[in-house]
Amino acid sequence: MASLVPSLGQLVSDATCLFKKLFNDEAPKIAACAPGRVNLIGDHTDYNQGYVLPMALSLVTVVVGSASSGQEAIIVTASELADEPKKVDLSLPNEGFPSFPGLPHWANYLRGIMHHYRALPLPGFRAVVVSSVPLGSGLSSSASLEVAFYTFLQQLRPAPVPAAAKHPHNMMLPPPRFTFDDGDKVAKAIACQQAEHTHAGVPCGIMDQLVSVLGMEGHALLIDCRSLESIPVPLSDPGLVFLITNSNVKHSLASSEYALRRGQCEKAASILGKPSLRDATVNDLEESRAQLDDVTYRRASHVIGEICRTLKAAESFKNGSFQEFGKIMVESHNSLRDLYEVSCKDLDDLVCAAMEVEGVFGSRMTGGGFGGCTITLLKADAIHRTIQNIQERYSGTPTFYIATPSEGARVLNLS
């Protein structure tokens, strides 16, 4: 059956115990958490200013800690981000001395958050990070870490509220410094996205950070990645379940191929004379086909089609047309496999195995691709036989999670 995931309370307890063990039996004063996410449909559309339909998960990253009297930023991780509990002492940035990338690589996500956090200088602090979000699974462990750490810093040193705060609507890449109210959740997500760009070297879209911040219990979010507006989509039918299947396959080429795909999309938009592929239609693409090489054409074809599929899928789910939603999920997977070329045999096999089972509406790869997870919509009474069929048909060792739409980033009470 589905894997047992440590509860939020257990994660907080584990982090607190480790903090006391490492820091002279002192109890942490501050705690925050942020979820991973699963994308139901709309992959590789966010950095093209399109639409996505993710939901926040009960899988979370927890940060506990306290301010310290010194000028050290000591962080220990006991999650999959490190093979074993590891401690790192990060340089505290200030307005004259920003934080730069360095070693270990996993700590660059934290350096980036400190660099882009608006209230500088930061005080010294000690913190412990634990997580139930599996690393490299396509469930956004990185955004979960970024948003949880940012939320921790908000409690450590709240930022002053500016006189006027506006979202950077219609901007693909906002500037690396922000003048927004830290209570503005959209600005918070953008700061976390920029941290991943500048310090982790991943040119990600905004989806992961935004849903980690804005996640709503019992709902997916239809997010417009241009305006950064989101519409809640209820996922409350007790007869339906979204099943995540982790292939437990991780391909090292995922990061480099992600950047390559983004460049191909930007090239296609430029040839089409559009600000982004969000503005392009199928007719635009066909009219300019002679100017596009085959690979660039197929990349653009996926994105344009996926944006339309995402809007159609959200409407189908709201209308209770689950067969239609499932059909669109499979169309999305086929496009990611054939046009965008980010699937792999493991993911294809998982989708095929799921689709063989009665009671399954649809299945697709989710996330960046080249390994990671699939997401399957099925009837609740089909969970056991679906898992059984996948285990029998898939050559690897999959892990299963029931996807529960959950709350976004939040401060935790340690008392």
The catalytic position among 208, 237, 348, 381 is: 208
Residue type present at position 185: K
Q: Is 365 helix (H, G, I), strand (E, B) or coil?
A: strand
Distance CA 246, CA 319 (A): 29
Whether 208 is catalytic is yes
One DSSP character per residue, 61-83 reads EEEEEEE-SSS-EEEEE-STTSS
Strands (E), 132-239: 219-224, 230-234
Question: Which tokens go with 198?
Answer: 């500048």
HSE-CB of 196 using CA atoms within 13 angstroms: 26
**Residues 330/334/336/337 CA torsion (nearest 10 deg):** 140
Kindly list the strands in the beta sheet with 371-379, ordered across the sheet, starting from the edge strand earlier in the chain. 360-366, 371-379, 240-250, 399-402
**Closest Cα to residue 264, out of 195, 339, 173?**
339
Record the tokens describing residue 407, joined without a space.
């709350």
Calculated CA dihedral for residues 317, 323, 327, 333, nearest 10 degrees: 60
User: Which positions are annotated as active-site residues?
Assistant: 208
